Structure 1
């Protein structure tokens, strides 16, 4: 029997954990003939291993582990694959596959558009009217990670979102860990000429960071009374997210996932310095003295000495055309590295 084990981050807030369980049940409704279970990385039970144990007890012979995380950072690249390594040693006859996180997906843009409408109907915001375009900026704000790959994915999503919307600017910032921070993002929007800034939080969960953003928004309004600021709903468990997670689950069950770091030599090297059990007390210990011969050549060459002058027309597939003859230049963002897993928030 095929099983899908969804991995939530876990929270100290019981309501947040229950929200994940309810959401996974709704996802399971579209996964016929599959056993579907839920587990958590931290703060809540069952753990990943306990979730795997339950699947095996119920007769699973193949288990697809699917992370409910926005991006592939520390949790998705290190902690979850390490738990799968342990499970392979415990259950050598079980076939394990690993699914992808939510990541960059076309339907993510639909979710963001829906969340943007929480500020008000798009036609009232001027997002579908030419007169509002030259003064509107959307600032997509993520949690921030020490993983450059995860941070770059948010920038890619922002760019794709700009292609979809008829606003002059869609900028990117983070609430912590790395630059540009939210204050810097807002300042950039204003320097570019925006008179309306809509902040769009890219988080799965509400919490203290959303409240912090609400407080920061009040400060912006007091500092710039002549300008308009608004905070849209956070990404969250949107109904469309069910489709993405069902897709990720079926990919994993069918062995079609393109996860680029499961069993990767870089992950194994990092494991030597990281407590991969991640706050869970397991009643077993496995010596990871097994080699993986995957040659992952990661070329991280960055050339930031470039100037983007947008003196050309942007034509979009979705049926509208607009001319960005604004001669604006994208400034450099200097990354700041710190320890944070950042995949899920």
Structure 2
């Protein structure tokens, strides 16, 4: 029997965990498979092992892993496969495949442009955008964010689009925020490139609120998980409309 195991990042934030659960509950209603479970890589239960075991207890013989991750960094390339490896070894008769993370997709960039438009239209040529990524030491992440920044710039017609990171890459969020505030002649629009609320988004909100005391024309958009297109992508992955690869090979 076919099962879907969704894997979120996990968070110490109750609001973030609740958002991930609500998001997945909404997806589950639109996916055809009878066995569907949500699990988390860290900080939140159920764990990947608990979610995997739950699928087996419901009679799963074929499990598709659907990671709720925007980009392919260390968690996708290393941590999730490492967590799955002993489970796959323990249950060699269970077929396990893993869908890709979302990656840089035109429709995600369209969704971000729409979110920004709702929050900040009309735009001025003097406006600036700061995209805030989670961050990773994986160089492919910075390449991805370069593409994301270009795509947002093209869609919104704003030339000044910059990227910063909350961890493990530079410039840091604080450096990026300070720099754009010093140079901007128009409004500043801050886009957190995060799926759900959590401690990272809380940190962004706190710093933006502090900056508002000095720079009044600064706006912050919401997390990306609120947009329907993100849910649509997960539904497609769960329904097998995108290619999945053997989890053991990741």
TM-score interval, normalised by the smaller of the two chains: 0.7 to 0.9
Q: Which residue of 263, 279, 289 corresponds with 2:249? A: 263
Other-structure match for 1:175 = 166
1:140 paired with 2:127, answer no
How many Å separate the matches in 2 of 1:156 and 1:98? 24
> Residues 66, 33 of structure 1: CA spacing in aligned structure 2 closer, same or farther, 3 A cutoff?
closer
How many Å separate the matches in 2 of 1:214 and 1:193? 19
Contact 1:118–1:232 (Cα < 8 Å) also in 2: no
Give the root-mean-square deviation of aligned CA atoms. Answer: 2.6
Q: Which has the larger radius of gyration?
A: 1
* Structure 1 position 224, deviation (Å): 5.1
* Structure 1 position 7, deviation (Å): 0.6
Helix, strand or coil at the partner of 1:236: helix
How many Å separate the matches in 2 of 1:183 and 1:100? 31
Contact 2:6–2:39 (Cα < 8 Å) also in 1: yes
Provide structure 2 residue ranges, at least 5 long, that are not aligned to the other structure: none
* Matched residue count: 250
Other-structure match for 1:238 = 227
Residues 190-205 of structure 1 mapped to structure 2, 5 A cutoff: 194-205=185-196
Contact 1:186–1:197 (Cα < 8 Å) also in 2: no
How many Å separate the matches in 2 of 1:214 and 1:244? 27
* Structure 1 position 40, deviation (Å): 1.3
Other-structure match for 1:6 = 6
1:87 paired with 2:76, answer no
Q: Structure 1 length as normaliser, TM-score?
A: 0.65
How many Å separate the matches in 2 of 1:110 and 1:180? 25
Q: Structure 2 length as normaliser, TM-score?
A: 0.87
Other-structure match for 1:229 = 218
How many Å separate the matches in 2 of 1:196 and 1:15? 29
Contact 1:146–1:177 (Cα < 8 Å) also in 2: yes
How many Å separate the matches in 2 of 1:103 and 1:208? 23
How many Å separate the matches in 2 of 1:193 and 1:25? 41
* Structure 1 position 150, deviation (Å): 2.2
Greater helix proportion:
2
How many Å separate the matches in 2 of 1:160 and 1:2? 37
* Deviations, residues 232-262 of structure 1 (Å, cap 9, x unaligned): 22323422211111122234xx782368x95
Provide structure 1 residue ranges, at least 5 long, that are not aligned to the other structure: 127-131, 265-345
* Structure 1 position 193, deviation (Å): 5.8
How many Å separate the matches in 1 of 2:211 and 2:14? 33
Contact 1:97–1:255 (Cα < 8 Å) also in 2: no
1:249 paired with 2:238, answer yes
Helix, strand or coil at the partner of 1:109: helix
Residues 43-192 of structure 1 mapped to structure 2, 5 A cutoff: 43-120=43-120, 122=121, 125-126=122-123, 132-133=124-125, 135-186=126-177, 189=180
Contact 1:198–1:231 (Cα < 8 Å) also in 2: yes
- Give the ranges of 4+ consecutive aligned residues of structure 1 lying more than 6 Å apart after TM superposition: none
> Residues 36, 196 of structure 1: CA spacing in aligned structure 2 closer, same or farther, 3 A cutoff?
same
